[in-house]
C-alpha cells in the first residue's frame, strides 16, 4: 500500500469509526423500539435532522478531525518511531560505522535509543582494541619473519622448509644456487624452474627418500628421542651427491607428534666426496704398489742368498731390486706432486676476494700496531681459499713483532699470483735494515703462523730483496677459481611464504579453488612476427610467479631465445631485440623444457594470451611438451571487471589500475605489468561475484571479447 493512501486511511479511520459507531447505536436503538414508536420517532426526528443536521455533522466532523489528529500522533510515536529505531539499530548491528540512534521523541524510545547507543559504543571500543592487538601481533610476526628471512639469506648452508605435502615455503639463496648447480647448470631461469615457493621439493629429491626420512623421524619421535632428525644422501640427475638432513617442524608446546612441516639442510658433497675418494684411492694404490714392489725386492734378495748363482743370474736379481727401488721412488714423487694439496687441506677454508682480505688485514694491522700499512694488489680479480680470521690475526702478530728500537717500520701488504699456478703470494713487506737483521721477525711468531700457512696447504718463509732494499714474510696461499655464487639479486626477493604451512593439497579440483589461493605463472613472449604457422618464432620468454596473492619478484624467468632465423628489421621497434642479442642464446628446444618446468603446477596468465599460447602449441609436437594447465587472459578478465571501459590494451588497463609501466614490449617487463594488473583485477572480479577459477574461466568464455574473437 502506498504511504500516502495509508496516511489518508489513518486520518479518516477514527471519523469513519465514529460515524459507524453512532449509526450502529441508532440502528440498535431503533430496532429495540416497537414499530409504532419507531415510526413516530422517525417522523419527529426527520424535520429536526433536516433543519439542524448541519450542527450534528459539524460536531461529528470536529470529533473526526480531533480523533484523526490523535491517531496520527499516536501512530507516529508508537509505531513509526520504534520501527525507525529498529531499522537504525539493525544498520548499526551490521555496520559499526553507521550513525548512532537518534530518538525524535522523548520518553521510552529515547531511553531505548540511548541504551542501544551505549551497547554500540562498547562494541566499537572492543573492536578498536581487537584491531590494535591484531595489528601489533601481525607486526611482530612480520618482524620475526623478516628476521628469519634475513638470517636464512646470510646462512652459508642451503636451507629449504617444506610443508607436509612437500611444497616449499621457505628457501635461501644458497639453496637456490645449489639446485641451480646440481640441475646441470643450465643458464636458464637461474634455478627458478626447480626451486620456488609453493613448488614441490619432490621435483628435485625423490619422494620415497623424503618419506623414508620422515618415517625415521616419526620413529625417533615415537621413541621420545631428543634428536629427531634424519639424514640421507641422494644423487641428482647431473650426478651430484647431496647430503640432506631432515628435521621436523613441531609446534612449540603442542602435541609432540603434530608435525606441520620439515626443514631440509642440504650440502653438495660431490666435491668433498670425490676428493675423499681420490685420497682413499691413491692411498690404496700406493699401498698395494708398495707391497708388490717390496715383494719383488724381497724375493729377488732371497734368491741372491743362494750361494751358487751364475753371474748373469746374480746381475738379473740385482737389476730387479734396482728397478723396483726406482719405481717406488717415482710413485712417491708422483703422489706428492699431485695429491699433496688434497691430502693436506682438510681445514675448512672459505673463498675470499684478495682485495677484501688486504683491506681487512690492513685494518687489523692498524689496530694492532697503530701503523697504516700500504696495500698493493697485482690482480684485483684474484680469489683466495683461506681461513681469513686466523690469517689476519697472524699478520697482525707478525707486524707487531717487527717493532724494533726505532719503532715500527713502514709496512706494506702485497698480494700477487705466484709462479706456480693455483697459488698466490701474500707478503708482509718492510724496509731491509742491514744493521739489524730481522731475526726477531721470525722465531716464535713464525712458529705459530707456520701452522696457519700449512693449514692452507701452503708455506711461509722470510725472503730478502736486497736490490729493492726490502724484507718480507711471504705466505704461499691457494687461489680459488672464482668467488662463491654472486648473489646478484635485486631488492629483497620473497624466499618464504608461511601461509603454505596451512595449505594442503586439496581434493577439490582447481576450478573450485578461490583465485587468491592459486599459484600462477604470468608470462609474455616476444616473437619475430605474428604468424607461428608461417615460420615466426619466439625470441624471448619472460615470466613471473604469483603465489597466495603475492608477486614473487625473486623467481623470475627471463630468457632470450635464438630463433634460428633472421629477425625482421621491421619487428625490432616492437620488441627491441636485435639479431646480435640472440646470438649464442639457447634455442627454443632448450628453453621450452625449462619454461615448462617453471610453469608446472600453476595457472598460466597472459595478456591476450591466446597469441602466446599459439606459439607454445606450435612447439608441442617438436618438444613433446604440452602446456595443458588452465589459462586466464587479463584482457578478458578486464573486460569483465570493467565492462564499460572503451580500451582493454595492457597500457590502458595498467593506467586505470594504477600500475606503473617500466619496460613495455620486453617480455619480462610485460609479464611483470600483466601480473600486477592481474592482482588488481582480482578484487574487482570478486565484487562481481567471480571468486573461483571455474567462475573466472566461465565468465571469460562468455565475455564480449571472447565472443568477438572465437
Partner 1 sequence: MTDRVLIADDEPNIVVSLSFMLKREGYEVLVAPDGTQALAMIRGERPRLVLLDAAMPGMTGFEVCEAVRADPDLSGIRIMMLTAKGRDTDIARGMGAGADAYVTKPFSTRDLIVRIREMLA
291 binds partner 1 (CB under 8 A): yes
Of the pair 328, 470, the CB lying nearest partner 1 is at 328
CB of 277 to partner 1, least distance (A): 16
Binding residue (CB under 8 A) for partner 1 from 104, 215, 280, 313: 313
Task: Give the total residue count for the chain.
Answer: 710
287 binds partner 1 (CB under 8 A): yes
From 128-136, 234-242, 294-302, 460-468, span contacting partner 1 (CB under 8 A): 294-302
The SS3 of residue 106 is: coil
Site string for partner 1, 400-429 (x = CB under 8 A): ------------------------------
389, containing H or E segment = helix 388-401
**What residue ranges in 208-333 does DSSP mark as E strands?**
230-235, 241-249, 261-268
Active site annotation includes 575: no
CB of 276 to partner 1, least distance (A): 17
299 binds partner 1 (CB under 8 A): yes
Of the pair 326, 698, the CB lying nearest partner 1 is at 326
Binding residue (CB under 8 A) for partner 1 from 142, 292, 325, 468: 292
Give the whole-angstrom CA distance, residue 383 versus residue 82.
85
Among left, alpha and beta (phi > 0; psi -120 to 50; other), residue 211 is alpha
277 binds partner 1 (CB under 8 A): no
296 binds partner 1 (CB under 8 A): yes
323 binds partner 1 (CB under 8 A): yes
Of the pair 289, 657, the CB lying nearest partner 1 is at 289
CB of 335 to partner 1, least distance (A): 16
317 binds partner 1 (CB under 8 A): yes
CB of 284 to partner 1, least distance (A): 8
Binding residue (CB under 8 A) for partner 1 from 26, 33, 131, 294: 294
CB of 241 to partner 1, least distance (A): 23
Give the whole-angstrom CA distance, residue 702 versus residue 268.
52
Binding residue (CB under 8 A) for partner 1 from 288, 356, 505, 512: 288
The SS3 of residue 234 is: strand
| CB neighbourhood size of 613 (10 A) | 16
Place of cell 601480473: 675
Give the whole-angstrom CA distance, residue 540 versus residue 665.
11
CB of 329 to partner 1, least distance (A): 15
Binding residue (CB under 8 A) for partner 1 from 138, 235, 298, 336: 298
Give the whole-angstrom CA distance, residue 119 versus residue 246.
54
What number of helices (H) and strands (E) belong to the chain? Answer: 22, 17
From 37-45, 289-297, 446-454, 625-633, span contacting partner 1 (CB under 8 A): 289-297
From 41-49, 144-152, 316-324, 669-677, span contacting partner 1 (CB under 8 A): 316-324
Of the pair 45, 292, the CB lying nearest partner 1 is at 292
Q: How many residues bind partner 1 (CB under 8 A)?
A: 22
Among candidates 298, 303, 239, 249, which has minimal Cα distance to 270?
239
CB of 285 to partner 1, least distance (A): 10
CB of 312 to partner 1, least distance (A): 12
464 binds partner 1 (CB under 8 A): no
From 283-291, 430-438, 458-466, 512-520, span contacting partner 1 (CB under 8 A): 283-291
316 binds partner 1 (CB under 8 A): yes
CB of 232 to partner 1, least distance (A): 25
Give the whole-angstrom CA distance, residue 75 versus residue 69.
10
306 binds partner 1 (CB under 8 A): yes
C-alpha cell at 626: 604440452
620, containing H or E segment = helix 620-623
Catalytic residue among 75, 220, 243, 665, which?
Answer: 665
Give the whole-angstrom CA distance, residue 160 versus residue 173.
10
Among candidates 279, 362, 345, which has minimal Cα distance to 479?
345
CB of 337 to partner 1, least distance (A): 23
Among candidates 127, 156, 391, 349, which has minimal Cα distance to 266?
156
286 binds partner 1 (CB under 8 A): no
Place of cell 617480455: 667
Within 13 Å and on the Cβ side, how many CA atoms surround 554?
A: 20
Contact by Cβ (8 Å): 526, 575: yes
Binding residue (CB under 8 A) for partner 1 from 283, 295, 448, 622: 295
Distance of CA 114 to CAs 106, 127, 303, Å?
A: 11, 20, 124
Cβ contacts of 208 within 8 Å, gap of 6 or more? none
Residue 79 is classified by DSSP as: I
Question: Which neighbouring-strand residues pair with 675?
Answer: none
Place of cell 569483465: 640
Of the pair 314, 565, the CB lying nearest partner 1 is at 314
C-alpha cell at 40: 413516530
**Residue 390's Cα: distance from chain center in Å?**
37
Binding residue (CB under 8 A) for partner 1 from 302, 338, 376, 511: 302
336 binds partner 1 (CB under 8 A): no
User: Would you tell me which residues interact with partner 1 (CB under 8 A)?
Assistant: 287-292, 294-300, 302-303, 306, 313, 316-317, 320, 323-324
Residues with active-site annotation: 665
Amino acid at each position: 500500500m502506498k504511504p500516502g493512501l495509508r496516511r489518508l486511511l489513518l486520518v479518516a479511520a477514527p471519523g469513519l469509526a465514529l460515524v459507524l459507531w453512532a449509526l450502529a447505536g441508532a440502528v440498535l436503538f431503533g430496532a429495540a423500539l416497537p414499530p409504532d414508536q419507531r415510526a413516530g420517532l422517525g417522523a419527529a426526528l426527520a424535520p429536526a435532522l433536516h433543519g439542524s443536521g448541519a450542527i450534528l455533522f459539524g460536531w461529528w466532523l470536529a470529533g473526526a478531525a480531533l480523533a484523526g489528529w490523535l491517531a496520527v500522533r499516536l501512530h507516529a510515536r508508537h509505531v513509526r518511531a520504534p520501527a525507525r529505531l529498529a531499522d537504525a539499530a539493525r544498520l548499526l548491528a551490521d555496520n559499526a560505522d553507521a550513525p548512532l540512534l537518534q530518538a525524535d521523541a522523548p520518553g521510552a524510545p529515547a531511553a531505548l535509543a540511548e541504551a542501544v547507543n551505549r551497547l554500540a559504543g562498547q562494541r566499537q571500543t572492543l573492536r578498536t582494541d581487537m584491531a590494535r592487538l591484531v595489528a601489533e601481533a601481525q607486526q611482530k610476526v612480520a618482524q620475526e619473519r623478516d628476521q628469519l628471512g634475513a638470517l636464512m639469506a646470510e646462512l652459508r648452508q642451503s636451507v629449504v622448509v617444506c610443508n607436509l605435502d612437500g611444497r616449499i615455503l621457505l628457501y635461501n639463496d644458497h639453496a637456490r644456487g645449489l639446485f641451480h648447480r646440481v640441475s646441470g647448470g643450465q643458464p636458464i631461469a637461474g634455478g627458478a624452474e626447480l626451486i620456488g615457493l609453493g613448488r614441490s621439493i619432490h621435483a628435485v629429491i625423490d619422494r620415497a627418500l623424503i618419506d623414508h626420512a620422515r618415517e625415521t623421524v616419526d620413529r625417533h619421535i615415537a621413541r621420545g628421542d631428543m634428536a629427531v632428525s634424519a639424514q640421507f644422501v641422494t644423487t641428482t640427475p647431473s650426478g651430484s651427491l647431496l647430503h640432506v638432513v631432515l628435521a621436523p617442524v613441531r609446534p612449540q608446546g603442542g602435541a609432540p607428534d603434530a608435525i606441520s612441516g620439515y626443514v631440509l639442510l642440504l650440502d653438495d658433497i660431490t666435491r668433498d666426496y670425490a676428493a675423499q675418494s681420490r685420497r682413499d684411492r691413491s692411498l690404496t694404490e700406493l699401498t698395494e704398489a708398495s707391497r708388490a714392489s717390496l715383494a719383488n725386492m724381497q724375493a729377488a734378495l732371497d734368491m741372491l742368498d743362494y750361494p751358487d748363482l751364475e753371474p748373469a743370474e746374480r746381475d738379473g736379481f740385482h737389476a730387479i731390486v734396482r728397478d723396483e727401488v726406482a719405481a717406488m721412488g717415482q710413485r712417491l714423487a708422483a703422489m706428492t706432486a699431485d695429491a699433496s694439496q688434497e691430502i693436506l687441506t682438510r681445514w675448512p677454508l672459505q673463498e675470499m676476494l684478495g682485495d677484501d682480505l688486504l683491506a681487512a688485514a690492513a685494518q687489523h694491522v692498524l689496530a694492532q700496531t697503530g701503523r697504516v700499512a700500504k696495500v698493493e694488489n697485482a690482480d684485483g680479480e684474484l680469489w683466495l681459499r683461506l681461513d681469513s680470521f686466523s690469517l689476519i690475526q697472524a699478520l697482525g702478530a707478525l707486524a707487531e713483532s717487527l717493532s724494533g728500537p726505532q719503532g715500527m717500520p713502514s709496512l706494506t701488504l702485497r698480494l700477487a699470483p705466484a709462479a706456480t699456478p693455483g697459488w698466490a703470494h701474500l707478503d708482509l713487506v718492510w724496509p731491509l735494515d742491514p744493521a739489524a737483521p730481522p731475526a726477531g721477525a721470525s722465531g716464535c711468531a713464525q712458529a705459530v703462523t707456520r701452522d696457519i700457512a700449512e693449514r692452507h696447504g701452503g708455506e711461509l718463509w722470510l725472503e730478502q730483496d736486497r736490490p729493492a732494499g726490502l724484507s718480507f714474510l711471504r705466505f704461499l696461499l691457494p687461489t680459488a677459481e672464482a668467488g662463491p655464487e654472486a648473489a646478484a639479486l635485486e631488492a629483497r626477493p620473497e624466499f618464504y611464504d608461511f601461509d603454505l604451512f596451512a595449505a594442503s593439497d586439496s581434493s577439490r579440483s582447481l576450478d573450485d579453488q578461490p583465485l587468491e589461493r592459486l599459484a600462477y605463472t604470468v608470462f609474455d613472449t616476444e616473437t619475430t612476427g605474428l604468424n607461428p604457422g608461417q615460420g615466426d618464432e619466439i625470441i624471448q620468454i619472460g615470466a613471473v610467479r604469483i603465489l597466495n596473492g603475492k608477486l614473487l619478484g625473486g623467481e623470475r624467468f627471463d630468457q632470450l631465445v635464438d630463433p634460428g632465423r633472421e629477425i625482421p628489421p621491421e619487428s625490432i621497434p616492437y620488441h627491441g631485440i636485435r639479431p646480435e642479442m640472440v646470438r649464442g642464446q639457447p634455442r627454443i628446444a632448450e628453453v621450452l623444457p625449462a619454461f615448462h618446468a617453471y610453469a608446472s603446477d600453476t595457472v598460466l596468465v597472459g595478456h591476450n594470451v591466446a597469441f602466446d599460447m599459439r606459439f607454445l602449441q606450435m612447439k608441442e609436437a617438436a618438444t613433446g611438451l604440452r602446456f595443458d594447465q588452465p589459462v586466464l587472459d587479463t584482457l578478458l578478465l578486464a573486460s569483465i571487471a570493467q565492462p564499460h571501459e572503451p580500451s582493454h590494451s595492457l597500457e590502458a588497463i595498467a593506467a586505470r589500475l594504477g600500475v606503473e609501466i617500466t619496460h613495455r614490449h620486453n617480455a619480462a617487463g610485460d609479464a611483470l605489468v600483466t601480473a600486477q594488473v592481474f592482482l588488481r583485477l582480482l578484487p574487482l572480479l570478486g565484487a562481481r561475484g567471480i571468486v573461483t577459477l571455474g567462475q573466472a574461466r566461465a565468465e571469460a568464455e562468455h565475455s564480449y571479447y571472447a565472443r568477438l574473437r572465437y
